[in-house]
Amino acid sequence: MISIREVAKLAGVSPSTVSRVINNTANVDEEKKKRVLKVIEETDFKPNQVARSLFKKSSSIIGLILPNTNNPFFTEIIKYIEDEAYKQNYKILISYSDNNPKKEKENLDMLISMNADGIILLTSNENIKNEIKNISIPVVIIDRSLNDDNDLTQIVCDHYKGAKLATKHLVECGCKNIVNMKGPMEFSSARLRYKGYVDICQEMNLDIKTIDCDYDYESGIKSTKELLEKYPEVDGIVASNDIVAIAAYKVLDNKGIDVPEEIMIIGFDNISFASVFTPEITTIEQPMEKMGRKAVNSIVDFKKNNSTGESHIFDVKLIQRQTTFLKEDI
């Protein structure tokens, strides 16, 4: 592979001139610039990206740390993050923490050592807050928040409002025995959704009925079976997310229970699969595209203004489909 010194020799200029042309860091005589660019084109010269990142203190990389790939919400929001990053001339480097604080810290350290321009982090690790505050590059928390810490830039949806909309919708559909498939309480999203469910139940004088459930399909299957044993009178289910709502439907269908005639189901997120699954899943829509693009632009803004901006809570909305129906629809 040709080196920068060889390019300089062929173009009849100094290596520093070649560097200035590549990095656009200073004005270069037009005639010299044309010679350098001509040699680069003819030799297919590729600058050493690691060396460039050390020189410019920028790698044009945004790191994205996610818990896992079990939740389709993650894979869908990645699409919007990557697309916006590409538009802004950045590349995305994805790593996974498996909800392991040690692995999460190692991923942060790796991205910092690579001169990443910023990090988008989906975490539930409260202890990571002090670590993030000591990092010199911008870190944006997405989807979950860390105890309403105003010192961090956090991009989330209104989980509390979403759960209230979901529970109220089932009440309006005539459900009186509504079970909340409660997500992991170490996650801010799950805590807020649970609170929204509880507040509507108390407002409507309904019994609070819950079953613990993670955010994945296998947990949805297991928890739905437990739910039916514990609450045989159930007529409405607020699932922890869409993939759990789909799992719940599978269990009910295998038992010959009609959805939505006997039991109604509502999910959360509005992943793509919720609209193509049969029956189509009624759900609460998170604005994944807006959230993903906002996270990227917060980092871009930091590079321009040395500030990531304020945290943002995006609104949610109810998407009614085939797993619920209002009485007037009969």
pLDDT digits (tens, 9 = 90+) for 112-159: 888 899 999 998 777 787 778 778 889 999 998 876 656 788 999 999
Residue 54 lies in a domain: no
Residue 246 lies in a domain: yes
Clarify whether residues 86 and 66 are in a common domain: yes
Clarify whether residues 28 and 125 are in a common domain: no
Q: What's the pLDDT tens digit per position in 173-186?
A: 999 999 999 999 98
Model confidence, pTM: 0.82
Residue whose pair of structure tokens reads 């990557």 in the numeric block = 82
Long-range pairs for 96-105: beta carbons < 8 A, 24 or more residues apart: 96/65, 96/66, 96/67, 96/68, 96/69, 97/65, 97/66, 97/67, 97/123, 98/67, 98/68, 99/67, 99/68, 99/124, 99/125, 101/125, 101/127, 101/128, 104/65, 104/128, 105/131
Residue 15 lies in a domain: yes
DSSP symbols for 153-219 = EEEEE-HHHHHHHHHHHHHHTT-SSEEEEEPPTTSHHHHHHHHHHHHHHHHTT---EEEE--SSHHH
DSSP designation for 65: E
Clarify whether residues 222 and 296 are in a common domain: no
Give me the pLDDT at residue 308, please: 58
Clarify whether residues 131 and 168 are in a common domain: no
Residue 53 lies in a domain: no
The distance between the two most distant Cα atoms of the chain, rounded to a whole number of Å, is: 84
Give me the pLDDT at residue 55, please: 46
Cα–Cα distances (Å) from 24 to 27, 28, 100, 245, 254, in that order, read 8, 9, 41, 52, 64
Clarify whether residues 127 and 236 are in a common domain: no
DSSP symbols for 313-329 = EE--EEE--TT---GGG
CATH number where 176 lies: 3.40.50.2300
Clarify whether residues 278 and 182 are in a common domain: yes
Give me the pLDDT at residue 328, please: 67
Cβ atoms within 10 Å, residue 259? 19
Residue 65 lies in a domain: yes
Clarify whether residues 281 and 301 are in a common domain: no
Counted residue by residue, the chain has a size of 330
Residue 216 lies in a domain: yes
DSSP designation for 266: E
Confirm if 128 and 104 have CB atoms less than 8 A apart. Answer: yes
Residue 194 lies in a domain: yes
Q: What is the pLDDT along the chain (330 residues), one digit of tens a residue?
A: 678 888 889 999 998 888 888 766 668 888 988 898 888 888 877 665 544 544 455 568 999 999 888 889 999 999 999 999 999 999 999 999 988 889 998 999 888 888 899 999 998 777 787 778 778 889 999 998 876 656 788 999 999 999 999 999 999 999 999 999 999 998 999 999 999 999 999 999 999 999 999 999 999 999 999 999 999 999 999 999 999 999 999 999 999 999 999 999 999 999 999 999 999 999 999 999 999 999 999 999 887 877 656 789 999 999 999 999 997 654
Confirm if 57 and 114 have CB atoms less than 8 A apart. Answer: no
Instruction: Return the bridge partners of 63, or none.
Output: 93, 119
Range of the domain at 31: 4-47
Residue 52 lies in a domain: no
Clarify whether residues 222 and 238 are in a common domain: yes
Domain count, the chain: 3
Residue whose pair of structure tokens reads 């304020």 in the numeric block = 310
Clarify whether residues 234 and 96 are in a common domain: no
Clarify whether residues 28 and 140 are in a common domain: no
Clarify whether residues 24 and 65 are in a common domain: no
Clarify whether residues 35 and 147 are in a common domain: no
